[in-house]
Amino acid sequence: MTTATGDTTTLADRKRRAGQRMVIGLSGPALTDDDVAVARAIRPAGFVLFARNCVEPGQVHELTRSLVDLCDRSAPPIVTIDQEGGRVQRMRAPATVWPAMRVVGRGGPAEAAAVGAALARELRAMGVHLNFAPVADVDSNPRNPVIGDRSFAADARSVSACVSAFIRAHQGEGVGCCAKHFPGHGDTSVDSHLALPVVEKEEPELREVELAPFAAAVRAGVWSLMTAHVVFPAFDEDRPATLSERVLPKLVRGELGFDDVVFSDDLDMKAISERWSTDEVVGYATDATVDVMLCCNQPHRQVETYEALVRWQEANPYRDDMRVSAGRVMRLRERVVPRKVLGPALVGIDTPEHRALVERLLDRYA
């Protein structure tokens, strides 16, 4: 929890700061009137692209350029995507179709770095600024319905090495990474899109397995993290990490010393949306030092979350959390958003070199 000595904010200030704590989804491959209305009301920190938004690279590039007009000129939108490879890659052909990170992980850190750099070059060409990747979860539970081959490996040491290499290479190309899902979604047997998972492990094992790759990600200089909608009774018996004042402040901000942006996982997921009210989610997540609320699919939830963020400030006039989070978001924006909007040329997408990299990975490791 952060405190301040006084409050002199106006309603306009509160609305601006509320918007800067949100990243929202869009309905399709082009902006609709409803998209525009919601975005202009919220003025979010950024937008997240899904398969429904991605037809081909040129269209994605035009969409990302059009998003600039929906936000304040002083705070251009951060465009984000889940482009992991394998099952989770929102932009597919005619961009490069990347293998699952399990395949990449078999090639070790060198192959992880090669993929991280190539993948970032393609995203940059399309106007994407931040990739919700890599998955830093350790695939330690074969019954896991949601992670599986999205993970580099089934052991923490291999995952840590590949995560570090991927991050350094990807961010070296100017596109941010977001290591997910802290403190680890790899040992769940429930999909948090559908229900609330619980990981019944003792703290020493959690530290040795689940937390190790995230510590490696922070050491590698990752620019953001994403939380898990998972309960870890060893740390907090009542709330998932996204909403836990006992997990993120202690482990992320304290022990790991991470002072950059923490994103929530999607707040539309049933692990969260069916258990807590929007006001409770905003309050608990703020106490947990989550900086940005991710609202991917439901326009009504986007508006509700924005309004709840405004109300939270009115109810907590002497707390400084909003200013702190806004500062972290601005620092991320300065790292990933180019000062000039990219022109129409799309270069570096599905190149012969990228195709050869995919073929090598599949031939050697698939």
pLDDT in tens, 223-242: 999 999 999 999 999 999 99
Beta-carbon neighbour count of residue 200 at 10 Å? 9
Tally of CB atoms within 10 A around 252: 25
Is residue 14 helix, strand or coil?
A: helix
pLDDT at 345: 59
Does the reported pTM lie above 0.85?
A: yes
Sheet holding 22-25, edge to edge: 176-177, 130-131, 78-81, 46-49, 22-25, 292-295, 261-266, 224-227, 179-182
Half-sphere exposure in the Cβ direction for 365 (13 Å, CA): 20
190 — pLDDT class (breaks 50, 70, 90): low
Dihedral sign of CA atoms 159, 109, 100, 126 in order: positive
CB 185 within 8 A of CB 220: no
Where are the chain's structural domains?
11-365
Active site residue 321: no
Determine which one of 7, 149, 191, 193 is catalytic.
193
Q: Are 219 and 164 in contact (CB under 8 A)?
A: yes
CA distance 206 to 188: 13
Environment class of 27 (CB within 10 Å of its CB; exposed 0-12, middle 13-18, buried 19+): middle
DSSP string for 122-139: HHHHTT--EE---B----
Q: How far is CA 46 from CA 75, 157, 263, in A?
A: 9, 33, 12
C-alpha–C-alpha distance, residues 345 and 322, integer Å: 38
| Set 265, 266, 287, 291: catalytic member | 265
pLDDT in tens, 143-159: 888 899 999 999 999 99
C-alpha–C-alpha distance, residues 121 and 174, integer Å = 8
**By the 8 A CB rule, do 84 and 112 touch?**
no
Q: What is the CATH number of domain 11-365?
A: 3.20.20.300
Place of tokens 């190790």: 212
**Residue 195's pLDDT is what?**
76
The verdict on whether 260 is a catalytic residue reads: no
Q: What are the tens digits of pLDDT across the range 61-105?
A: 999 999 999 998 899 999 999 999 999 999 999 999 999 999 999
What pLDDT score was predicted for residue 144? 82
In this model, does residue 344 exceed pLDDT 60?
A: no
Q: Mean pLDDT, to the nearest integer, of 16-41?
A: 97
| pLDDT of the residue at 5 | 45
The whole-number pLDDT of residue 192 equals 72
φ and ψ at 286, to 5 degrees?
-65, -45
User: pLDDT averaged over the chain?
Assistant: 93
CA-CA-CA-CA torsion for 205, 206, 208, 211, nearest 10 degrees? 180
- Tell me which residue of 181, 106, 105, 103 sits closest to 144, measured CA to CA: 181
What confidence score (pLDDT) does residue 341 get? 60
